[in-house]
C-alpha cells in the first residue's frame, strides 16, 4: 500500500516552477495532528532566490500556525534519491527537529531517515 505522504509529495512535484533546471521536486510535511502541507521548488532567474520544495512546505505550515511535525517526504525524478540541500537541512532542523525524512523517486524507490 503506497504511503499517502509520498504520494502527496509526488503530486506536489507537478506544480514545480523549474523552467531553468527542469529539475522538479515535491515535498509533503506531516504535522503531529495529521495535517499535510505540500511544497514544490520555485525557481528564479537569479537561482539565489530559488526556494526549495521542503522550505515551501515548512513555511506554509508555519504560516498557518502549525509548529509540531512528524515527518516529511521529498520526491524527485532521479535514480539516486535527492536529499535536502544544506539550507533545507538547517530549516528542517530548526523548525522540525528530529523529524523523519523520507526520500522517494517516481519509480518506487524509498529511503527513510530518522
Q: Which residues are catalytic, by number?
A: 54
Strand-pairing partners, residue 43, are none
Q: Are 102 and 73 in contact (CB under 8 A)?
A: yes
Cell numbers 516529511 correspond to 72
Task: Report the half-sphere exposure of 100 (CA within 13 A, side-chain side).
Answer: 12
Amino acid at each position: 500500500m503506497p504511503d499517502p505522504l509520498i504520494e502527496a509529495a509526488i503530486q506536489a512535484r507537478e506544480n514545480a516552477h523549474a523552467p531553468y533546471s527542469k529539475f522538479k521536486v515535491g515535498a509533503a510535511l506531516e504535522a503531529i495532528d495529521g495535517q499535510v502541507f505540500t511544497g514544490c521548488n520555485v525557481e528564479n532567474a537569479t537561482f539565489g532566490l530559488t526556494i526549495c520544495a521542503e522550505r515551501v512546505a515548512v513555511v506554509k505550515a508555519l504560516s498557518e500556525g502549525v509548529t509540531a511535525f512528524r515527518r516529511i517526504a521529498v520526491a524527485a525524478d532521479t535514480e539516486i534519491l535527492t536529499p535536502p540541500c544544506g539550507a533545507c537541512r538547517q530549516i528542517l532542523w530548526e523548525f522540525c527537529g528530529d523529524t523523519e525524512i523520507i526520500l522517494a523517486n517516481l519509480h518506487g524507490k524509498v529511503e527513510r531517515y530518522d
